[in-house]
């Protein structure tokens, strides 16, 4: 790979923050997801608000939103962005998995993929934290970008598995 393929590497091969000052401000959107596998009784306790720490999904939603807003503080070469939307949703279509999907939007000079991925990851970690007393064997997996829109590289969408 050459340095022009890795935008965070300069001509000397050093990591650096990409200069986006010459880029146009455009509307950008990204969606990401994560899955948490757990015991069926853990998912049931989440859905019925039966955990001592409180409303798991409400807390995880706020944690995901907060994480997206603080992404540049967590990922060293990310630009701080004035996000215009962060959404965190939860779904379960079986008895032992919780699916998290996130969406981030911005009118800016760089994309919001990392913010959407960070939101999904931290929401999943929050669910784990709130439920670990009853299910230490939970597994967080399938953290991935689902789609991105806008910017120089154009739109991209993950192919269905």
Half-sphere exposure of 73 (CA within 13 A, CB side): 5
Count the neighbouring beta carbons within 10 Å of the beta carbon of residue 141.
Answer: 11
* Annotation says 89 is catalytic: no
| C-beta separation of 31 from 102 below 8 A | yes
For residues 74 and 144, give the distance between their C-alpha atoms in angstroms, rounded to a whole number: 18
Q: Which of 19, 95, 96, 129 is catalytic?
A: 129
Contact 96, 43 (CB under 8 A): yes
Active site residues: 129
């Amino acid at each position: 790979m050459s340095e022009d393929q890795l935008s965070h590497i300069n001509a000397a091969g050093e990591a650096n923050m990409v200069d986006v000052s010459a880029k146009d401000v455009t509307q950008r959107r990204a969606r990401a997801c994560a899955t948490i596998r757990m015991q069926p009784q853990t998912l049931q306790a989440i859905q019925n608000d039966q955990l001592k720490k409180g409303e798991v999904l409400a807390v995880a939603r706020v944690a995901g939103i907060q994480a997206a807003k603080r992404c540049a503080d967590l990922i060293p070469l990310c630009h701080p962005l004035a996000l215009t939307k962060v959404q965190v949703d939860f779904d379960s279509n079986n008895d032992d998995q919780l699916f998290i999907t996130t969406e981030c939007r911005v009118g800016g000079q760089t994309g919001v993929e990392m913010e959407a991925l960070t939101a999904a990851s931290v929401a999943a970690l929050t669910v784990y934290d709130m439920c670990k007393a009853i299910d230490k064997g939970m597994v967080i997996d399938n953290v991935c970008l689902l789609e991105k829109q806008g910017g120089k590289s154009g739109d991209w969408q993950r192919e269905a598995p």
